Amino acid sequence: MRHILVTGGLGFIGVRLLKHLSRNPDVFIHNIDNLSLGVTHFDTLVPADRRARIKTYIDDINNQDLVSAILRDNNIHQVYHLAAESHVDRSISGPRAFYESNVMGTLSMVEGCRNHIEQGGRDDFRFLHVSTDEVFGDLGPEDPPFSETSSYHPSSPYSASKAASDFIIKSSHRTFGFPAMVTNCSNNFGPGQNAEKLIPTIVNSLAKEHKIPIYGTGKNIRDWLFVDTHVAYLEAIMAAGSPGQSYLIGGDMELTNLDLVARIHKIFNQRRPDQAKAFEDIFEFVSDRKGHDRRYAIDTNRLKSHFPNVAKVNFNRALEETVDFHLANND
């Protein structure tokens, strides 16, 4: 049995990663999560027969004694580090928690893992740090997409804390030879996402016949990445990525927020024709978010060339699956 450590495994991406990794019957997963946002549909999304091979520790990654004990007692050789505070609006109203989790928590993980490597002589140890494309700031309409050579220009307390955590990883590799890789992903979506996020907000507002709140003019552009495609890339990068490297993971699907609303509105009308309304009647513009990034986009050419065997889920099918899930599990 091969033992793996995941942090933040009860979050949205984390649960899908637990589901994905646990399909291998020879893998046992140790998961640390402090439940800062509750459990994101773990029992709904992870099959019952796999849950026996997932052990969750309700604790904080800043508890270095716990981290060290899990690493040592289970001879851990792989760590997927997803634990992070990730809601931009919350970071604007209360930045401190984001720095305590994303910066100090990442430092705690690195220090615990470095000690684990030194004590055990584990030459095959690998650490994957999951970050965001928001560390690069934003783009204009005609700017080329972000790439692995893009410079960092974080715009919010959240993205600044993630940028700092990226630099902890990169500097630890250069200074200590820490065998870590960084991934920066675009906007994830899929079944089970927290109700505060945009797509669940759109679906739930339509179901409850509330106006969908749209920041500013609705013309901000995001690149949408289906979460199952994301976790498949994470596994591939853990297996074959090069320590010290960064990998950008995108969905090749740039949409304005209004375009996204229109696509979901069309699916919703097909599912619930009795609640169908005209497009112009379903949303309202609200005051724009402070420091709101205009556009995110990712150049995925390097990713695809390094990991050509990772299958990408069709966007329209993935969006329909997501809408159906949130209609069935209305928050």
Please say whether the beta carbons of 172 and 208 come within 8 A.
no
Per-residue 3-state assignment (H helix, E strand, C coil) for the chain? CEEEEEECCCCHHHHHHHHHHCCCCCEEEEEEECCCCCCCCHHHHCCHHHHCCEEEEECCCCCHHHHHHHHHHCCCCEEEECCCCCCHHHHHHCCHHHHHHHHHHHHHHHHHHHHHHHHHCCCCCEEEEEEEHHHHCCCCCCCCCECCCCCCCCCCHHHHHHHHHHHHHHHHHHHHCCCEEEEEECEEECCCCCCCCHHHHHHHHHHHCCCEEEECCCCCEEEEEEHHHHHHHHHHHHHHCCCCCEEEECCCCEEEHHHHHHHHHHHHHHHCHHHCCCHHHCEEEECCCCCCCCECCECCHHHHHHCCCCCCCCHHHHHHHHHHHHHHCCC
pLDDT at 331: 56
Q: Please give the pLDDT value at position 208.
A: 96
105-145 pLDDT, tens digit per residue, is 999 999 999 999 999 867 899 999 999 999 999 999 899 99
Q: Which entry of 60, 85, 133, 293 is annotated as an active-site residue?
A: 133
User: Strand 187-189 to strand 212-215: parallel, antiparallel, or no bridges (unpaired)?
Assistant: unpaired
pLDDT (0 to 100) of residue 48: 94
pLDDT score for 293: 82
Residue 296 catalytic? no
- pLDDT the model gives residue 107: 98
Q: Are strands 246-249 and 212-215 parallel, antiparallel or unpaired?
A: unpaired
For residue range 28-85, what is the model confidence (pLDDT) as tens digits?
999 999 988 766 789 989 999 999 999 999 999 999 999 999 999 999 999 999 999 8
Partners of 225 in the β-ladder: 188
Task: Report the 10 Å Cβ neighbour count for 217.
Answer: 11
All domains of the chain in start order, with CATH: 2-189+224-252+295-313 (3.40.50.720)
d(CA 298, CA 236): 18
| pLDDT less than 70: residues of the chain | 38-39, 121, 331
111 is catalytic: no
Residue tagged active-site, from 33, 60, 85, 134: 134
- Would strands 246-249 and 2-7 be described as parallel, antiparallel, or unpaired? unpaired
The pTM score is 0.95
pLDDT at 267: 98
283-286/246-249 β-pairing? unpaired
Annotation marks residue 99 as catalytic? no
What residues have CB less than 8 Å from 305, skipping those under 6 apart? none
Model pLDDT, residue 291: 78
Q: So what's the pLDDT on residue 288?
A: 80
From 57, 80, 99, 158, the catalytic residue:
158
Confidence (pLDDT) at 88: 76
